Amino acid sequence: MSDLIAQLEQLQTEAQAALDAAQSTPATEAWYSEYLGRKGKMTAILRGLGQLPKEERPLVGKRANEIKEALDAALATRQEAIAAEEMQRSLAAEGIDVTMPGRRPLLGKLHPTNQAMREMVEILKQMGFQVYDSPEVETDAYNFELLNFPPDHPAREMQDTFFTTTPDVILRTHTSPGQIHAMRHYAPEPIRVILPGKCYRNEDVTARSEMMFYQIEGLAIGRNITFSDLKGTLLNFANQMYGEGRKIRFRKSYFPFTEPSVEVDVDCILCGGAGCRICKHTGWLEILGAGMVHPVVLQNGGYDPAVFSGFAFGMGIERQAMLKRGVDDIRLFYSNDVRFLERV
């Protein structure tokens, strides 16, 4: 009996030394098979158990278990140490510095056109205007005729139209046709609506004009609406959009759907009116077209011009964004250059 225990203790010493010498996870696995595995040295020694007298077997068995447990524990410790060393080595080899700060993911944000559109909608909503959706694909009637552009009227040439293969169906050249949709929906109730959306013009693309751009249209119709209401609305808009204390000025103009018609300028947000590069030394920046709704248009919308009057205005959204943010080329908006989109 003492012979078997001596062999087991001898094995333990030898195994411990071999384990200390193991340098890798595979080496510790090989070590396990060699000493503790089913065909290992420990099993081989314990085969001698059968030849021992019955009463001696439990004692040897107990000692064998203690040694096995001790070796198992030593193996776990050694494997942990090796795993840590291997991690250290591979981090060093791959040049990974775990103390380096993480890389920030890029945050998305609203497109500059959308930012300007939302800002404008917010301002106009506060004045009681509600957003009314109207289609981008229109008929010639809505885009021109019902807005008092007679057929072959030269005013149609102000806007180069994209046609479709369906006769009379076109891409809208402005948001004004939405006026007719809104009026026909609500007449004879008074309305205050805004119509934001895309417009299309078959024009050469330059720093000042794109084939696709956004406008926002405003329309107010009621029983006692006058030009002063238009002035007050636009002055309030200019002050909220471009800063308190802004001045606006009206220049007479022509649009078939308004009478009288005006173009509206705001005093230059850069130089305050003194004259600079942005305002081309005039002190003023043009921001929109407007006027009192033409009686024919009121009638086409379903309102009796003897009872109702109204004002309308329309402006380019990119144009407002450009003025406000000092962008001098409209093409930047739709060329998907991330440097521009991040900056504006």
Q: Is 35 in the site for ligand DAH (CB under 6 A)?
A: no
Q: Is 289 in the site for ligand DAH (CB under 6 A)?
A: yes
Q: How many whole angstroms separate alpha carbon 236 and alpha carbon 150?
A: 34
Q: How many whole angstroms separate alpha carbon 146 and alpha carbon 218?
A: 17
Task: List binders of ligand DAH among 214-233 (CB under 6 A).
Answer: 217
Q: Is 314 in the site for ligand DAH (CB under 6 A)?
A: yes
Task: List binders of ligand DAH among 165-204 (CB under 6 A).
Answer: 174, 176
Q: Is 290 in the site for ligand DAH (CB under 6 A)?
A: yes
Q: Is 313 in the site for ligand DAH (CB under 6 A)?
A: yes
Q: Is 148 in the site for ligand DAH (CB under 6 A)?
A: no
Q: Is 312 in the site for ligand DAH (CB under 6 A)?
A: yes
User: Judged by CB under 6 A, which stretch of 2-10, 148-156, 232-240, 285-293 contacts ligand DAH?
Assistant: 285-293
Q: Is 132 in the site for ligand DAH (CB under 6 A)?
A: no
User: Judged by CB under 6 A, which stretch of 74-82, 116-124, 236-244, 309-317 contacts ligand DAH?
Assistant: 309-317
Query: What DSSP assignment string belongs to 178-240?
Result: HHHHHHHHHTTS-EEEEEEEEEE------SS--SEEEEEEEEEEESS--HHHHHHHHHHHHHH
Are 22 and 28 within 8 A, CB to CB? yes
Q: How many whole angstroms separate alpha carbon 80 and alpha carbon 257?
A: 84
Q: Between 268 and 317, whose beta carbon lies closer to ligand DAH?
A: 317
Q: Label the pairing between strands 137-139 and 212-222.
A: unpaired
Q: Which residues bind ligand DAH (CB under 6 A)?
A: 174, 176, 217, 255, 258, 289-291, 312-314
